[in-house]
């Protein structure tokens, strides 16, 4: 008899891909607080593939657990683990896991490289994937936007899995163990979900939970949370730093040093900003552990242009550079973007507030910005906290771009780096970034 799995939260990126990949062996109950046309069509697709489903869209009540015999719950990352349905599941001893954990149970003997951190995850994950796949069969998935179950049917026992993991996904692991775990950094984020930075740190640190002394933890030695991050970690700790030479890999004299000797010069790295030097150092350590040659590492880094929506150059119009940094959903990411330019910046920021503190970049904004154009729900809060004199409001991204174009002069940078989530105006940061680029390309 097939097991019954309850999918809590139904999205294409996680729960749908799970059901699509393994559906012939299970019965799926599909629960979500909303019921949309897209979700209905995804369920139809499952049904047409011969996968048994029960459509509970619009219902996330705990009574589901009394009505059906459920063997396992797979929760989507966006669903908080303290909702009544899941609290009741714990009382009934029903196991709750996420898609990363579920995938790992099918392929526990593969080598995993897991990357977490507040910022830089996607760039670092992509770079690590590019480095390793040059010499070994490698798969890429997780929070990066590619569902981990996408390659369920093609993975082989010697393949390496590079996976970006958010704190929400880490909350829902149990046995998952990356051979190489990277904790890039920790800054204020998701304080609408976590009660404190300590809680947020605790969730992120779960990446090392199941590691042994045969595994590796790659950690930022410069992080103010470094001691707390490494406390209790059983694996071999490797560090990177932009200002300390006691790290395993560090930056000095405009070069990255590994084993105390110069490895690659800063001007060979195409990515803007010191934060990307940190990302490169972390990626180099991961690639070295996996056994990638120095020659390959240097060659890939020299040609790596970064990832869409991360300080992405769009075009130059009349001597003005336009950059898309839509992935900037935190104050720290916005700070890193501002530090990446030496030219006057016309910044477009704002969106859905996550309870973050913009006063931290007040002096930086004063020194870097020529003008600030605010959009979205958080615009008044950001204006209040930054107190920047030349601030304008806009009702749409298109209008914001037009205002920026009108204010710009030769040598300026127009930068979309919102520092906020996108959900007040867009489906996700990708849609926000693509919309921005479309507007720019029509100018």
Per residue in 138-152, pLDDT tens? 999 999 889 999 999
Taking the C-alpha atoms of residue 168 and residue 1, their distance in angstroms, rounded to an integer, is: 32
Domain range list for the chain: 3-97, 106-303, 312-442
The Cα–Cα gap between 72 and 64 comes to 13
| pLDDT more than 90, % of the chain | 90
Rounded to whole angstroms, how far apart are CA atoms 178 and 217? 9
Whole-angstrom distance, CA of residue 379 vs CA of residue 120? 25
Backbone conformation region of residue 352, classed left if phi is above 0, alpha if psi is from -120 to 50, else beta: beta
**Common-topology check for domains 3-97 and 312-442:** no
Question: For 376-430, what is each residue's pLDDT tens digit?
Answer: 999 999 999 999 999 999 999 999 999 999 999 999 999 999 999 998 999 999 9
Q: Which of 118, 125, 437 is nearest to 307 (CA)?
A: 125
Q: Could you tell me what percent of the chain has a pLDDT over 70?
A: 99
- Output the CATH code of domain 312-442: 3.90.190.20
pLDDT on residue 306:
86
Beta strands in 351-439 (DSSP E): 369-374, 391-393, 413-416
pLDDT in tens, 87-107: 999 999 999 999 999 999 999
106-303: CATH homologous superfamily? Answer: Mur-like, catalytic domain (3.40.1190.10)
The H helix count followed by the E strand count for the chain is 16, 20
How many CA atoms lie within 13 Å of 438's alpha carbon, on the beta-carbon side?
8
> What's the pLDDT score for residue 1?
57
Cross-strand pairs, 141: 163
Contacts of 328 (CB under 8 A, 6+ apart): 334, 336, 337, 417, 418, 419
Instruction: Look at 41 and 23; give whichever has higher pLDDT.
Output: 41
Which range, of 109-118, 174-183, 268-277, 392-401, averages the lowest pLDDT? Answer: 268-277
Whether 322 shows a pLDDT value over 80: the answer reads yes
d(CA 260, CA 249) in angstroms, rounded, equals 8
How many Cβ atoms from other residues are within 10 Å of residue 393's Cβ?
Answer: 16
Mean per-residue pLDDT for 316-345?
A: 95
Question: In 3D, which of 70, 78, 90, 93 has the Cα closest to residue 33?
Answer: 78
Distance CA 334, CA 149 (A): 32
Using alpha carbons, list the distances in angstroms from residue 251 to 157, 176, 258, 386: 36, 32, 9, 32
Question: Looking at the DSSP assignment, which residues form a beta bridge with residue 345?
Answer: 369, 413
CB of 332 closer than 8 Å to CB of 200 = no
pLDDT in tens, 303-313: 998 889 989 99
CA 203 to chain centre: 14
Q: Do residues 135 and 296 lie in contact, with contact meaning Cβ atoms separated by under 8 Å? A: yes
Rounded distance, CA 99 to CA 17, Å? 9
Mark out the alpha helices in 15-157 (DSSP H runs).
17-22, 37-48, 64-67, 84-91, 99-106, 121-133
Among the listed residues 109, 141, 146, the one whose alpha carbon sits nearest the alpha carbon of residue 128: 141
DSSP classification of residue 421: B
The H or E element containing residue 275 is helix 274-290
Residue among 137, 214, 124 at smallest CA distance from 163: 124
What is the pLDDT at residue 16? 96
CA–CA dist 164, 343 (Å, integer): 33
Give tens-digit pLDDT for 204-234.
999 999 999 999 999 999 999 999 999 999 9
Place of tokens 């729960």: 15
Question: Residue 387: helix, strand or coil by DSSP?
Answer: coil
Q: What is the pLDDT of residues 178-195, one digit of tens each?
A: 999 999 998 877 767 777
CA distance 293 to 414: 39
The residues near 336 (Cβ < 8 Å, ≥ 6 apart) are 119, 273, 274, 275, 328
Give 197's pLDDT tier (boundaries 50, 70, 90): confident
| Number of Cβ atoms within 10 Å of the Cβ of 252 | 13
Report the interhelical angle of 331-339 vs 274-290 (nearest 10°). Answer: 100
Name the CATH superfamily, with its identifier, for domain 3-97. NAD(P)-binding Rossmann-like Domain (3.40.50.720)
CB 350 within 8 A of CB 418: yes
What is the pTM assigned to this prediction? 0.85
| First-to-final CA distance of the chain | 60
């Amino acid at each position: 008899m097939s097991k019954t799995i309850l999918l809590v939260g139904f999205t294409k990126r996680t729960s749908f891909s799970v059901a699509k990949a393994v559906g012939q062996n299970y019965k799926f109950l599909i629960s979500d607080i909303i019921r949309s046309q897209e979700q209905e069509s995804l369920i139809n697709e499952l049904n047409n593939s011969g996968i048994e489903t029960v459509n509970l869209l619009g219902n996330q009540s705990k009574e589901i657990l009394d009505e059906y015999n459920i063997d396992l719950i797979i929760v989507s990352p966006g669903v908080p683990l303290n909702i009544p349905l899941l609290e009741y599941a714990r009382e009934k001893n029903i196991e709750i896991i996420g898609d990363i954990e579920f995938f790992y149970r099918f392929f526990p003997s593969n080598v995993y490289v897991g990357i977490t951190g507040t910022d830089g995850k996607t760039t670092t994950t992509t770079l690590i994937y590019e480095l390793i796949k040059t010499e070994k069969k490698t798969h890429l998935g997780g929070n990066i936007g590619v569902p981990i179950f996408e390659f369920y049917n093609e993975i082989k026992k010697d393949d390496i899995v590079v996976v970006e993991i958010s704190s929400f996904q880490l909350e829902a692991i149990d046995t998952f163990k990356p051979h190489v775990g990277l904790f890039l950094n920790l800054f204020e984020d998701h304080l609408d979900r976590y009660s404190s930075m300590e809680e947020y740190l605790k969730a992120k640190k779960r990446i090392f939970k199941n590691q042994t002394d045969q595994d590796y933890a790659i950690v930022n030695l410069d992080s103010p949370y470094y001691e707390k991050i490494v406390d209790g970690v059983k694996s071999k700790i490797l560090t990177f730093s932009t200002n300390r030479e006691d790290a395993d890999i560090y930056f000095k004299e405009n070069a990255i040093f590994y084993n105390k000797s110069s490895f690659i010069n800063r001007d060979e790295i195409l990515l803007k900003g010191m934060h990307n030097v940190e990302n490169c150092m972390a990626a180099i350590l991961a690639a070295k552990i996996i056994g990638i040659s120095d020659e390959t590492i240097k060659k890939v880094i020299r040609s790596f242009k970064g990832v869409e929506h991360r300080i992405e150059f769009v075009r130059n119009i009349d001597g003005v550079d336009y950059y898309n940094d839509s992935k900037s959903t935190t104050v720290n990411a916005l700070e890193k973007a501002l530090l990446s330019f030496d030219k006057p910046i016309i910044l477009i920021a704002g969106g859905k507030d996550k309870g973050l503190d913009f006063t931290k970049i007040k002096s930086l904004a004063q020194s870097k910005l020529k003008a600030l154009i605010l959009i979205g729900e958080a615009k008044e809060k950001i204006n209040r906290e930054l107190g920047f004199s030349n601030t304008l409001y806009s009702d749409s991204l298109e209008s914001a771009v037009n205002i920026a174009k009108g204010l710009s002069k030769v040598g300026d940078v127009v930068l979309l780096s919102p520092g906020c989530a996108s959900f007040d105006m867009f489906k996700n940061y990708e849609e926000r970034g693509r919309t921005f680029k479309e507007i720019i390309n029509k100018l």
